[in-house]
Structure 1
Amino acid sequence: MMRKLNLLLLLTVFIFSSAVAKEGMWLPSLIHKLNINTMQNMGCELSAEDIYSINQSSLKDAIVALDRGSCTAEVISKDGLLLTNHHCGFGEIQQHSSVEHDYLQDGFWAMSKEEELPNPGKTVTFLVSVEDVTAKVLAEVNAEMSESERAQKIDATIHELEKEAKGDTHFEVYIRDFFNANQYFLFVTETFKDVRLVGAPPQALGKFGGDTDNWMWPRHTNDFAMFRVYAGPDGKPAEYAEDNVPYQPKHHLPISLKGVKEDDFAMVFGYPGRTNRYKTSWGIDYTMKVTNTARITVREKKLDIIADYMATSQKAKIQYASKHARSANYYKNAIGQNEALTKLGIIAQKEELEQEFSQWVNANSERKAKYGEALPLIEEAYKNVEAEKAMEYAAEALLRGPEIFMFASRASQLMDLLEKPEENKDKIEAFTARLKASLDGYFKDYDAATDEKIVAALLEIYAQNNPSAYHPDFFNEIQQKYKGDYEKYAAKMFQKTIFDSKEELAAFLEAPSAKVLKKDMALAAASDIFDMYRSTSMKLRSGNDQLLKGRRLFVAGLMEMQPDKKFYPDANSTMRLTYGTVMPYDPLDGVTYKYYTTTDGYLEKEIPGDYEFDVPARMKELLLDENFGQYADEDGKLRTCFITDNDITGGNSGSPVINGKGELIGIAFDGNWEAMSGDLDFEDKLQRCINVDIRFVLWVVDIYAGAQNLIDEMTIVR
């Protein structure tokens, strides 16, 4: 009987572990309390201290936020060599490319440190420590305060805590709220500003499948790029300088060539950007009908215009490659998210939870007094969303759509300074010097004729989808003077602006004049756009305060209603750990996707000369020869990608996938189409993390590129 009970207990532990393993983006500093036992039962051989420690080297010391969290990277050598995704380095690869040296098309490999390419503005941030400061932040907050009073008190306290923690160090210190402002944590980080491009495969490998395969499985994309982080001679962060030295990290990840098998334990460490898993049914409905609809409508038109231009020449393709990729990524995401939210019935699931919450609240007078207004406040906030819709469309169609408005708006400060030219002489010279310095980089990747088409198309889309009360003032001119012809208006604007021409703008900056700026149509339009955006934001402020209060009370109530549940906070670009297993899934009735792909898929998908599915001649030759070296799996095949059930989102791109021994086995780069609702609700049966197999990465570095120098500095476990 005892043996049967022990067996039943083990089975129960296994089932429980499997049930909780997938969902959750956990703070590494808290896994010793919440997760380590489950992780070890699943196959993790590390201790909590091995994963996160402020006293000794740990895994967290090898994980970095790229560009303040837009992507993640990992350190893979004692000399600061970094791995991330190709699409995370796409902007830098594109910036260094030209018709003469097209690194997008041909790839780039530094065969020595002297050949590595600097990237001004790119940053790498290491996490130093995390501290729970909830009690300190909320010490002087009480339930009688209005939301504005509460916010002011919290902001003042946070400012003092951050100032005290930073002291006279070079570290960065910031406090973030969690669980909709119910908890607060203080982060200490260290940011390095000399980050150099080391290697990248051709786009035909690093973005194989393009937009067609994006968010899809099965996948065969070799999505990686390599950088190196440099420090000053003292080992501290420093701006780019020739005498800087490779950074010596506290920890770097060893790389396993053993491969993965189904049910293997896997961790993903990284900086997920934003999830909203505690959003209510009203919020989900708004996301689908407003946020995603605006994104889809605007970006579809913009992408068509850009694609037409890119097809005209190699130069055009290089110029707009990064812009097209950035816009296309979340265009397709919005489509997939709406589809998944509908198919999976997420709104109905949220409504069921809200009904349960209301019953729990109303069953007790104290709870009703404490949480009774939570859901009514949220529901009321979503009753009239006309202004919010205008803000969504303005962000997509006016601010992030055309380039000229944001670029021209930079001169607003200069126009103010030029009102008193003698008094502001030094400031004017400093401002014009900064603007001059940016001209080459900006206009290198800018085509005025294309932007003019985008302006005309997106202004019309904005007007069609929003009432005139939310139109910027210059829209009246379009209706009256141009009879509603947006193309004619755009053509005139581009004739009457200096911000579409490097030569005109450079000449202006030699002798800047307030008169010229006041007559500039692009700057005038930009000013009207920002005036409308600011005034609408002010109108929404009180409603937003009530929505924030409702959300805060709702999450606090949920945590009290389910005291035995292990809650995890939404992603907010702070370091998180997720854990799960390597496993297949069933996307449709009668269809099973296995957990890995091989290079056979490259040849099966090949479309010679196609922008997305072309296979370079050298790649094809190596694949046909099956020249896989030490990177082949035990069956002789070269595996390309694999999937796990780890919880990920945007920002996790480039995150390391780590086995139970703390060894690198892959790089996360995507989620799957069937679970695009994942930012709003985790779907445990369908949600998968798509990863490039580290052996495929090393095969490209070693055999395809011949960069033995890079292989030699890694710690490889065979």
Structure 2
Amino acid sequence: MKRLNLILLLTVFLFGTAVADEGMWLPSLIHKLNINTMQEMGCELSAEEIYSINNSSLKDAVVALDRGSCTAELVSKDGLLLTNHHCGFGEIQKHSSVEHDYLQDGFWAMSREEELPNPGKTVTFLVRVDDVTEKVLANVTDEMTESERDAKINEAADKLKEEAKGTTHYEVYVRDFFNSNKFYLFVTETFKDVRLVGAPPQALGKFGGDTDNWMWPRHTNDFSMFRVYCGPDGKPADYSKDNIPYQPKHFLPISLKGVQEGDFAMVMGYPGSTARYKTSYGIDYTMKVTNTARIEVREKKLEIIADYMASSQKAKIQYASKHARSANYYKNAIGQNEALTKLKVIAQKQDLEKQFTSWTNANDSRNAKYGAALNLIENYYTNIEADKAREYMSEALLRGPEIFLFANRVKPLEELLKDPEGNKDRIERYSQALKAAAEDYFKDYSAYTDQQIAGALMRIYAAKNTSEYQPAFFAEIQKKYKGDYDKYADKMFQKSIFDDKDEFMAFLDNPSVKVLKKDMAFMAADDIFAKYREISNQISTKGDELAKGRRLFLAGLMEMQPDKKFYPDANSTMRLTYGKVLDYDPRDGVTYKFYTTTDGYLEKEIPGDYEFDVPARMKELLLDKDYGQYADADGKLHAAFITNNDITGGNSGSPVINGKGELIGIAFDGNWEAMSGDLAFEPELQRCINVDIRFVLWVIDVYAGADHLIEEMEIIK
């Protein structure tokens, strides 16, 4: 059976036989690419009911949260939003304190007045999408260099954006697809007043923690609730008490009917990034460099953070969001390398590349047009020392300790201080902005923890990269501190204003270049960013050849496989995927059912454990089987279910919709066995993990007693 599955996988990958559940499709194109297949699978909607620019449609109920870091969906006429708990985790954490620990206890606004504002949080609606490929490429020729080509493309795109925006408040951008072979223009509308309405305790919303992350079976009640507000005129507005709940063009009705194996399911959302058309050379680089750097650096960082979080409730609140962000893709990188190895993805890619080479060599005109593509890509990856240095620097020095990035935010002030009289007003404004940023920064900051992280990660960076790629101050560490990075970090934190709120605020009251030039953290940050720019410039000199190789390779593939329906890689634009509710066989002798129940939630309980604790009220209600109207036909409360929808990061919080256009779940994860999914879709194993919408509503209604929120929704029984 395994051999048969592998043969089927190779057939799909090499010869392009499209399977219905693979692909992240542009909703604007489903009328000609997908709707017939979708309707054959059980979709009862028309293409116009899914995507329309003239009438309300499903697209109007689905939003990009925070510019696409997550997805959310509208579920009431008054702008009520559902998304994942981890998509609202940062806001829940920011509103939490030892006195009001919303992470531990949950939060529920029992009236509109109690809903909490979140400066900086946004929701973005898609207004329309236009294919502008011909206009963008009108003045592009094959003889141009990549830089010349990009200049012409940008010139045309800027003109199109200006025309589309006109005098509206909309945002307009042009994105490339299929490695710059096609281009689409997007018109969007962004709302800036987004208020927290409800969130379950972390023991529900993050149940299973890092242990269960990317795993099935799951029992996590991964949701949170927000509301979109607008000005009295219905348009986007900054937060104001005078704002009103936004009235959407469409919101999703919610089905209590549950799901059965084989049911049609579609997901709409904003997947972040995939690279399904990456070559064997790129896959090898991802495994050996990108993922290896991420795993090694984050493992040490997470170890240090975990020790601090275990020290007190305050520490746990402070670093909860930071730990979650770092841990998520640490584990993803491990799983991705395992899956890519197990599924022999590099070998599959190499087979495809051999076919491509044979195809190009068989025809002189094809060879002239596409023959150099793979050589350009291969040549790029022959010397990757600079690329490796940039990967490690991003992980260890830019996203590792916080002090370097925070210190670098003061760099513009240093420039202004070179002419203190001429820049007096600008210095004052920028200092005030830095003070506001410092309030948030120091609220969730432990200088001792950051010092430990800095010492440990500088040591890792030095061990992995030669002196050519090391920031200038690393030479001082070797000479003056005999290579003791912990000792240097200790001294640096002693000699810096960037690890202490009072010192930093005092500096901003009377800023001077002299103080910055003596500050070890500021000067170290200066060296780090200077070296990062140097490395990036070195890489960019050969990046044009890689971009050209990728563009030509994919253009050639599409010509080589004319009968295949190609879908574009994810790039944080709205996509639709469709599939079915399905179980799967992760390994020999094991079959995973397509659903879980709250029985499993109780079975996993470890009292007092950070990941598997069960609140007393939750346990009491479940033992009493007080499921209200949310029980399945089998009498149980279903927790989660799986489908074979094609998703990735950014799809977190996406609505899972049945064939009637009703909400049946919220997507929140992928499965461990298919962590290769961003680079190669695996049809037999890839699953989308979703919280059952009935479990969500049960928590809101029965557990939290927030039935006023249920009354806002359109419930289909």
Give the shorter-chain TM-score range: over 0.9
1:270-349 correspondence to structure 2 within 5 Å = 270-349=269-348
Counterpart-to-counterpart distance in 2, 1:672 and 1:392: 26
Counterpart-to-counterpart distance in 1, 2:684 and 2:552: 30
Counterpart-to-counterpart distance in 2, 1:556 and 1:385: 26
Counterpart-to-counterpart distance in 1, 2:386 and 2:409: 26
Counterpart-to-counterpart distance in 2, 1:403 and 1:167: 41
Q: Which amino acid aligns with 2:34?
A: N
| Aligned match of 2:12 | none
Counterpart-to-counterpart distance in 1, 2:123 and 2:133: 28
Counterpart-to-counterpart distance in 2, 1:102 and 1:691: 27
| Aligned match of 1:101 | 100
Counterpart-to-counterpart distance in 2, 1:701 and 1:541: 51
Counterpart-to-counterpart distance in 1, 2:355 and 2:541: 28
| Aligned match of 2:570 | 571
* Alpha-carbon offset, residue 295 of structure 1: 0.1
* Alpha-carbon offset, residue 324 of structure 1: 0.0
Deviations 1:678-699 (A, max 9, x none): 0000000000000000000000
In percent, how many aligned pairs have the same letter?
Answer: 77
Deviations 1:257-287 (A, max 9, x none): 0000000000000000000000000000000
Q: Which amino acid aligns with 2:256?
A: L
| Aligned match of 1:382 | 381
- Dislocated runs of 4+, deviation >4 Å: none
Q: Which amino acid aligns with 1:564?
A: D
Contact 2:17 2:564 in 1 (8 A): no
| Aligned match of 1:267 | 266
| Aligned match of 1:397 | 396
Q: Secondary structure at the match of 1:20?
A: coil
1:257-656 correspondence to structure 2 within 5 Å = 257-656=256-655
Q: Which amino acid aligns with 2:102?
A: Y
| Aligned match of 2:716 | 717
Q: Which amino acid aligns with 1:434?
A: A
Q: Secondary structure at the match of 1:73?
A: strand
Deviations 1:152-192 (A, max 9, x none): 11111111111111111100000000000000000000000
| Aligned match of 1:223 | 222
Counterpart-to-counterpart distance in 2, 1:18 and 1:314: 54
Q: Which amino acid aligns with 1:416?
A: E
| Aligned match of 1:255 | 254
Q: Which amino acid aligns with 1:204?
A: A
Deviations 1:629-664 (A, max 9, x none): 100001110000000000000000000000000000
Deviations 1:189-210 (A, max 9, x none): 0000000000000000000000
1:19-34 correspondence to structure 2 within 5 Å = 20-34=19-33
| Aligned match of 2:694 | 695
Q: Secondary structure at the match of 1:111?
A: coil
Contact 2:18 2:564 in 1 (8 A): no
Deviations 1:586-606 (A, max 9, x none): 000010000000000111100
Counterpart-to-counterpart distance in 2, 1:437 and 1:517: 19
Q: Secondary structure at the match of 1:174?
A: strand
Counterpart-to-counterpart distance in 2, 1:709 and 1:519: 58
Deviations 1:39-98 (A, max 9, x none): 000000000000000000000000000000000000000000000000000000000000
Counterpart-to-counterpart distance in 1, 2:552 and 2:397: 35
Contact 2:652 2:668 in 1 (8 A): yes
| Aligned match of 2:68 | 69
Counterpart-to-counterpart distance in 2, 1:469 and 1:160: 42
Q: How many residues align?
A: 703
Q: Secondary structure at the match of 2:491?
A: helix
Q: Secondary structure at the match of 2:452?
A: helix
Counterpart-to-counterpart distance in 2, 1:122 and 1:437: 17
Structure 1 18/156 Cα, relative in aligned 2: closer, same or farther at 3 Å?
Answer: closer
Contact 2:458 2:485 in 1 (8 A): yes
Q: Secondary structure at the match of 1:21?
A: coil
Contact 2:293 2:391 in 1 (8 A): yes
| Aligned match of 1:115 | 114
Deviations 1:299-343 (A, max 9, x none): 000000000000000000000000000000000000000000000
Counterpart-to-counterpart distance in 1, 2:541 and 2:104: 51
1:41-60 correspondence to structure 2 within 5 Å = 41-60=40-59
Deviations 1:608-628 (A, max 9, x none): 000000000000000100000
1:667-706 correspondence to structure 2 within 5 Å = 667-706=666-705
Q: Which amino acid aligns with 1:655?
A: S
Contact 2:404 2:525 in 1 (8 A): yes
Structure 1 702/134 Cα, relative in aligned 2: closer, same or farther at 3 Å?
Answer: same
Counterpart-to-counterpart distance in 2, 1:681 and 1:531: 36
Counterpart-to-counterpart distance in 1, 2:526 and 2:399: 15
| Aligned match of 1:202 | 201
Contact 2:266 2:577 in 1 (8 A): yes
Q: Which amino acid aligns with 1:549?
A: K
| Aligned match of 2:212 | 213
Moved more, 429-438 or 284-293: 429-438
Counterpart-to-counterpart distance in 2, 1:274 and 1:19: 20
Counterpart-to-counterpart distance in 1, 2:596 and 2:146: 52
Counterpart-to-counterpart distance in 1, 2:312 and 2:135: 59
Counterpart-to-counterpart distance in 1, 2:484 and 2:207: 40
Contact 2:210 2:328 in 1 (8 A): yes
Q: Secondary structure at the match of 1:268?
A: strand
Counterpart-to-counterpart distance in 2, 1:52 and 1:69: 19
* Alpha-carbon offset, residue 542 of structure 1: 2.2
Counterpart-to-counterpart distance in 2, 1:263 and 1:124: 33
| Aligned match of 1:79 | 78
Q: Secondary structure at the match of 1:131?
A: strand
* Alpha-carbon offset, residue 225 of structure 1: 0.2
Moved more, 546-555 or 147-156: 147-156
Deviations 1:506-528 (A, max 9, x none): 11111111110111111101110
| Aligned match of 2:127 | 128
Q: Which amino acid aligns with 2:40?
A: N
* Alpha-carbon offset, residue 18 of structure 1: 11
Q: Secondary structure at the match of 2:195?
A: strand
Q: Which amino acid aligns with 1:317?
A: K
Counterpart-to-counterpart distance in 1, 2:535 and 2:257: 57
Counterpart-to-counterpart distance in 1, 2:375 and 2:136: 27
| Aligned match of 2:7 | none
Relative to the length of structure 2, the TM-score reads 0.98
Counterpart-to-counterpart distance in 1, 2:366 and 2:126: 39
Cα RMSD over matched residues? Answer: 1.0
Contact 2:86 2:222 in 1 (8 A): yes
* Alpha-carbon offset, residue 290 of structure 1: 0.0
Q: Secondary structure at the match of 1:121?
A: coil
| Aligned match of 2:10 | none
Q: Which amino acid aligns with 1:334?
A: A
Contact 2:670 2:687 in 1 (8 A): yes
Q: Which amino acid aligns with 2:702?
A: I
* Alpha-carbon offset, residue 479 of structure 1: 0.5
Q: Which amino acid aligns with 2:302?
A: L
Counterpart-to-counterpart distance in 1, 2:495 and 2:258: 60
Q: Which amino acid aligns with 2:693?
A: I
Counterpart-to-counterpart distance in 2, 1:164 and 1:465: 49
Q: Secondary structure at the match of 2:415?
A: helix
| Aligned match of 1:5 | none
Counterpart-to-counterpart distance in 1, 2:435 and 2:409: 12
| Aligned match of 2:234 | 235
Counterpart-to-counterpart distance in 2, 1:440 and 1:287: 37
Counterpart-to-counterpart distance in 1, 2:453 and 2:592: 40
Counterpart-to-counterpart distance in 1, 2:336 and 2:35: 32
Counterpart-to-counterpart distance in 1, 2:453 and 2:538: 29
